[in-house]
């Protein structure tokens, strides 16, 4: 009965909520992939269980979280077994959509778990967040050279192509150089904050290699912010986020997958300047705080980094801290 409940909730609530978070565009139910890849179905059921643990009364949270973890563990084991044995005997291209969906949903699920179900102090939370970032690096490895094949897939190609175009487009401005439509002042402030951060990093004398690593992470964040602001959205989703110009969570997941392993290593070492960059990513998370899978995670990330760094880094943290007072 539990699996039937989870499947029903997945199809009627969870997938539609992800569509709303993606600018309101309908998310097709991946029936062929779910049937052909049990690991994907188990992970989707695990996500539905996590969703229920968040929206149901607190007395039911432990029950749904337990089953979410069980389903996710089973899904990961099944995925590992399949990718090392079964799929070698089949056409790799045929399994690519299922592997891509699994990796994407697992990444979303782990970010949700890390941000919302915070256990212990900041050190425990931060170690879990670093683990999530390294997982996202693994997502790129899973997809490998199959991205172009995915964009050519008739079921996934249009959405992936649109997302890729937005990430490559850069600043969402019209021909006059002004922000178009609902790309409001908040986006301009984010852009200026990233530019200011680039200047600070350039003047910090961190060494050529570290400076280049930070610069890449900041520029990737700028693209993520612009993609979130400019991704085409339906009118029905306009009230789902606090800022009119931030309509899609695409950038939330694009940035972790875009940063380098070197930058993650700097974060793991608690490098102050790297933490400041991460706090700016927290601003993007905070802009989407009404999404059930993000909630107040951005606020917690920013506030925790601010406390960890202390007053000596208050100028570097000024924009991130001030962003918590908006909306």
**Distance between CA atoms of residues 126 and 300, nearest Å:** 11
Cβ burial of 174 (10 Å; 0-12, 13-18, 19+) is exposed
Which residue(s) pair with 22 in the sheet? 248
Cβ contact 133:103 at 8 Å: no
pLDDT the model gives residue 295: 94
Q: How many CA atoms lie within 13 A of 58 on its CB side?
A: 1
pLDDT of residue 229: 67
Task: Pinpoint the alpha helices (H) of the chain.
Answer: 2-9, 15-21, 31-36, 38-55, 61-84, 92-116, 122-143, 147-151, 157-169, 185-203, 208-230, 250-258, 261-268, 272-287, 297-309, 318-323
pLDDT of residue 165: 63
Asked if residues 41 and 34 have their Cβ atoms less than 8 Å apart, the reply is yes
Q: For residue 218, what are the CA distances in angstroms to 90, 227, 243? A: 40, 14, 21
Rounded to the nearest angstrom, the gap between the alpha carbon of residue 14 and the centroid of all alpha carbons in its chain is 16
Residue among 240, 321, 210, 189 at smallest CA distance from 19: 240
Locus of tokens 């990330």? 301
State how far the Cα of 123 lies from the Cα of 127, in Å rounded to an integer.
6
Q: Are 255 and 283 a contacting pair, CB within 8 Å? A: no
What's the CA gap between 220 and 212, in Å, rounded?
12
Please report the pLDDT score of residue 98 as a whole number: 84
Closest CA to 221 of 253, 181, 265, 177: 253
Report which DSSP code applies to 247: -
On the CB side of 242, how many CA atoms lie within 13 Å of its CA? Answer: 17
Residue 310 is encoded by which pair of tokens? 């202390």
Largest pairwise CA distance in the chain: 60
Q: Which residues of the chain have pLDDT under 50?
A: 89, 171-184, 231-246, 327
Q: Looking at residue 179, what is its pLDDT?
A: 40
């Amino acid at each position: 009965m539990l699996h039937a409940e989870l499947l029903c909730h997945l199809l009627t609530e969870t997938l539609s909520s992800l569509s709303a978070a993606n600018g309101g565009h309908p998310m097709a139910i991946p029936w062929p992939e779910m049937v052909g890849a049990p690991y994907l179905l188990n992970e989707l059921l695990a996500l539905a269980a996590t969703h229920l643990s968040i929206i149901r009364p607190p007395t039911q949270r432990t029950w749904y979280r337990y089953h979410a973890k069980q389903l996710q563990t089973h899904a990961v084991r099944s995925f590992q077994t399949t990718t090392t044995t079964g799929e070698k005997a089949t056409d790799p291209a045929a399994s690519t959509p299922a592997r891509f969906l699994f990796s994407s949903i697992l990444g979303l699920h782990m970010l949700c778990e890390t941000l919302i179900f915070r256990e212990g102090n900041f050190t425990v939370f931060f170690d879990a967040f670093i683990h999530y970032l390294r997982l996202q690096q693994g997502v790129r490895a899973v997809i490998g050279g199959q991205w172009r094949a995915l964009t050519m897939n008739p079921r996934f190609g249009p959405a992936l192509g649109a997302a890729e175009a937005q990430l490559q487009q850069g600043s969402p401005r019209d021909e006059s150089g002004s922000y178009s439509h609902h790309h409001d002042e908040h986006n301009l402030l984010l852009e200026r904050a990233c530019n200011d951060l680039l200047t600070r990093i350039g003047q910090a004398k961190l060494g050529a290699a570290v400076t280049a690593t930070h610069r890449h992470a900041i520029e990737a964040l700028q693209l993520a912010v612009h993609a979130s602001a400019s991704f085409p959205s339906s009118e029905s989703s306009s009230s789902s986020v606090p800022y009119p110009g931030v309509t899609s969570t695409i950038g939330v997941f694009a940035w972790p997958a875009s940063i380098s392993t070197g930058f993650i290593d700097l974060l793991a070492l608690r490098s102050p300047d790297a933490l400041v960059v991460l706090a700016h990513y927290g601003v993007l998370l905070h802009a989407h705080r009404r999404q059930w899978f993000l909630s107040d995670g951005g606020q917690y990330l920013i506030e925790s980094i601010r406390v960890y760094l202390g007053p000596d880094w208050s100028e570097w943290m000024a924009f991130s801290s001030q962003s918590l007072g908006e909306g």
